[in-house]
Amino acid sequence: MRLTLAMGAMLLLACPAPAPAQDGTPGAARPPVAFPQVTAVPVPLQSVSGRFSSLNPLNQVDCPYQEVSGRVVAPSLILVKQMACGEPGHDNLLVNVKLGNPADAAQMVTGRHVVIRGKFKSAQEDRDPVDFLIAENAELVAGDPIDPSAPPAQAFTSFMMCQPPELDVLARQLGKDLCVQSTIVANLTVTGPALETAAREPARVSPEDTVRGDPDAITCRLDHGVSDRHLSDIACARNSYWAWYKAKWRDPMSSITAPP
């Protein structure tokens, strides 16, 4: 979220939103939004809390680690209980895993405890500041047994995805970058209508503020805490996520992970 995808911004600038309905009737029905599955874009790195993202965070330094263990959040992300690299005192940290062998992604099953070996780095962006942890040329050296007959594990934490390709169509219609909670993006068949409604009417409140209502309800807000200034940004998440972020903003050292 700290750095929205420049590729997405360029795409939006080049592809203006569709013209309004020809009859000019206020509130005229809009065409349904499709959410195509597109994957040929770089995967942004997540901050240690998962609130912000960057394609290439600055001030990268080596960490004194060769291996870490953690719980898989996504094919390129694990949650590590504690890691003394970058800002001290943090725990429950998201670590970005850049696999040396892409085939290992099949072993990165949500919720699985794994051991990752690689070259570890920390990075920090100057705004706030925001910290990142990265495992480069990583390999999976151990992990819990996988039961292929077991149903897929439910997400136990979430993170913000900025300009996810699945939402390119909606972003072009809005003429804004979109940053959306990962568990909302993962189930667009169910969440898509509510997300679209909320994104078309974003609240003018800070991401540090909460709103009353159903914790599971999806709400969006204009978000100025981004690096890419070409377009304004809309951040969308469930109310329970915004409540977590408010607590995290007040106490950055808190070890509480984001809700799913």
> Is 26 a residue whose pLDDT tops 60?
no
Q: What range does the domain containing 213 cover?
A: 6-14+36-43+156-250
Does any domain span residue 255?
A: no
Distance of alpha carbon 193 from alpha carbon 252, whole angstroms: 33
Does any domain span residue 55?
A: yes
Does any domain span residue 27?
A: no
Q: What's the number of domains the chain is made of? A: 2
Distance of alpha carbon 222 from alpha carbon 256, whole angstroms: 25
**What confidence tens digit (pLDDT) does each residue in 148-171 have?**
899 989 999 999 998 899 999 999
Q: What is the pTM for the complete model shown?
A: 0.80
Which of 143, 172, 196 is where one domain is finished? 143
Neighbours of 65 (CB within 10 A): 20
**What confidence tens digit (pLDDT) does each residue in 37-74 have?**
444 457 889 999 998 888 888 889 999 999 999 999 99
Q: Are 136 and 57 in contact (CB under 8 A)?
A: no
Using pLDDT thresholds of 50, 70 and 90, give the confidence band for residue 8. Answer: very low
Does any domain span residue 105?
A: yes
Q: Are residues 201 and 235 in the same domain?
A: yes
What pLDDT does residue 250 have? Answer: 84
Q: DSSP string spanning 136-156? A: EEEEEEEE----TTSPPPPPS
Does any domain span residue 19?
A: no
Bridge partners of 232, per DSSP, are none
